[in-house]
């Protein structure tokens, strides 16, 4: 069977255009890829259109609006997630309109689909007292406890997103005064964030006792699991929840649910 125009352009968009021409991060590419996996699933399950029959003509603004509603109502996605998926679709169709100008009118109708306004939410933060209590929980007498204390201290100092924390390499640390860590965010944009003196001391010890002070380990991930692999979002969520549970045995200063963005 001959590949459809959708299959052709989607493959080039994900494997060539985004990494080579736009130089976006792997995380962004994975997010875009997941958007189209969900779109294919939507076409198959709700429209009875198999993946091999999906064409650009089929992907009308009406069908795609239905997909966005399906994400909210069936998949229970937040408005923020819905808008992220729409952003991926917009990016794809902006790419396609340059490749297939004959479909410009159709593509621009898709690009005109608006984002959905979300109700403003109050961003929660831990109080200094709650943060102090949380940082007192890791067992400083063992390697894993010191890793967890160092990790949470870096998170508290920097306000890093979880993925930014995961992606920190040894070479991203500049421990000379003034000490900073280089965080790589969305679109591979970097920023330097200062580190407090206590966090610096924790990092210096952590690097030495984990043998990360060797030149050939500069590109190693800073925080790893028992298998020395880069931590995952789920792994970090588990670490935080473990110490939240310990904290709440002695005080209710720490909320029952603490997420990394609250640091």
128-262: CATH number = 1.10.443.10
Q: Give one DSSP letter per residue of 36-92, joined into a string.
A: HHHHHHHHHHHH---GGG--TTT--HHHHHHHHHHHHHTS---HHHHHHHHHHHHHH
In this chain, the answer to whether the domains covering 5-111 and 128-262 adopt an identical fold is no
Contact indicator for 258, 248 with CB cutoff of 8 Å: no
- Give the pLDDT confidence score for residue 122 in this predicted structure: 54
- Split at pLDDT 50, 70, 90, the class of 87 is very high
pLDDT of 202 over the 90 cut: yes
Question: Strands, DSSP E only, in the chain?
Answer: 173-174, 180-184, 190-194
Which has more pLDDT, 173 or 261?
173
Q: Which residue has the tokens 């991203």?
A: 172
pLDDT tens-digit series, residues 175-189: 887 899 999 987 788
pLDDT tens-digit series, residues 28-64: 899 999 999 999 999 999 999 999 999 999 999 999 9
Contact indicator for 28, 187 with CB cutoff of 8 Å: yes
pLDDT of 123 over the 70 cut: no
Domain boundaries, the chain: 5-111, 128-262
pTM (2 decimals)?
Answer: 0.61
Tell me which of 3.40.50, 1.10.10, 2.30.30, 1.10.150 is the CATH number of domain 5-111: 1.10.150
Q: Which residue has the tokens 């997909």?
A: 67
């Amino acid at each position: 069977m001959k590949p459809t125009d959708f299959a052709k352009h989607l493959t080039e968009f994900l494997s060539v255009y985004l990494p080579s021409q736009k130089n976006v991060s792997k995380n962004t590419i994975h997010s875009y890829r997941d958007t189209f996996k969900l779109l294919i699933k939507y076409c198959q399950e709700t429209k009875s259109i198999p993946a091999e029959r999906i064409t650009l003509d089929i992907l009308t603004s009406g069908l795609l609006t239905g997909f966005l509603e399906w994400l909210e109502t069936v998949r229970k996605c937040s408005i923020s997630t819905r808008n992220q998926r729409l952003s991926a679709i917009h990016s794809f169709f902006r790419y396609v309109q340059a490749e297939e100008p004959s479909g410009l009118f159709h593509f621009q109708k898709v690009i005109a689909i608006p984002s959905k306004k979300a109700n403003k939410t109050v961003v929660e933060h831990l109080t200094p007292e709650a943060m102090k209590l949380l940082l007192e929980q890791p067992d400083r007498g063992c390697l894993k406890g010191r890793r967890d204390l160092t990790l949470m201290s870096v998170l508290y100092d920097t306000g890093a997103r979880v993925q930014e924390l995961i992606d920190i390499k040894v070479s991203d640390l500049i421990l000379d005064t003034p000490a900073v860590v280089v965080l790589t965010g969305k679109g591979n944009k970097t920023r330097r964030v200062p580190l407090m003196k206590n966090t610096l001391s924790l990092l210096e010890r952590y690097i030495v006792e984990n043998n990360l002070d060797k030149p050939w380990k500069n590109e190693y991930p800073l925080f790893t699991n028992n298998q020395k692999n880069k931590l995952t979002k789920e792994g970090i969520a588990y670490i935080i929840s473990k110490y939240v549970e310990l904290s709440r045995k002695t005080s209710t200063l720490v909320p029952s649910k603490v997420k990394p963005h609250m640091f």
